[in-house]
Amino acid sequence: MGTSDPASMVLAEVTNRDRTSRIFFSTDRDIDLYELEELCDAVGWARRPIRKVRKAIQNSFLVVSMWEQKGNRKRLIGFSRATSDHAFNATIWDVVVHPDYQGKGLGKTLMHHLIKKLRSEDISNVTLFADPHVVDFYRNLGFMPDPEGIKGMFWYPD
Amino acid sequence: MGTSDPASMVLAEVTNRDRTSRIFFSTDRDIDLYELEELCDAVGWARRPIRKVRKAIQNSFLVVSMWEQKGNRKRLIGFSRATSDHAFNATIWDVVVHPDYQGKGLGKTLMHHLIKKLRSEDISNVTLFADPHVVDFYRNLGFMPDPEGIKGMFWYPD
Q: Complex ipTM, two decimals?
A: 0.90
Check: CB of residue B22 under 8 Å from CB of residue B16.
Answer: no
Q: Could you give the 3-state DSSP secondary structure of residue A95?
A: strand
pLDDT in tens, A107-138: 999 999 999 999 999 999 999 999 999 999 99
Chain B environment of A89 (Cβ under 8 Å): 56, 83, 91, 93
**pLDDT for A102 beyond 70:** yes
Say yes or no for a CB contact (<8 Å) between B60 and A85.
yes
Identify the bridge partners of residue B125 per DSSP, sorted by sequence position.
B89
Q: State how far the Cα of B94 lies from the Cα of A17, in Å rounded to an integer.
A: 56
Of B57, B139, B145, the CB nearest to A152: B145
- What pLDDT, on the 0 to 100 scale, is given for residue A157? 78
Say yes or no for a CB contact (<8 Å) between A142 and B127.
no
pLDDT in tens, B62-117: 999 999 999 889 999 999 999 999 999 999 999 999 999 999 999 999 999 999 99
- What pLDDT, on the 0 to 100 scale, is given for residue A134? 97
- What pLDDT, on the 0 to 100 scale, is given for residue B21? 86
Question: Per-residue pLDDT averaged across B22-27, rounded?
Answer: 94
Of B88, B93, B143, the CB nearest to A154: B143
Percent of chain B clearing pLDDT 90 (strictly above): 84
Neighbours of A45 (CB within 10 A): 12
Q: What is the pTM for the complete model shown?
A: 0.91
Q: State how far the Cα of B24 lies from the Cα of B111, in Å rounded to an integer.
A: 13
- What pLDDT, on the 0 to 100 scale, is given for residue B141? 97
* Catalytic (active site) residue B138: yes
Check: CB of residue B26 under 8 Å from CB of residue B36.
Answer: no
Report the candidate in A61, A91, A54, A94 with the shortest Cα–Cα distance to residue A78. Answer: A94
Residue A119, judged by CB atoms within 10 A of its CB (0-12, 13-18, 19+), counts as middle
Q: Which residues 77-116 of chain B have a CB within 8 Å of chain A?
A: 81, 83-89, 91, 93, 115
Show Cβ contacts of residue A8 under 8 Å, excluding neighbours closer than 6 positions.
Answer: A1, A2, A24, A25, A26, A27, A28
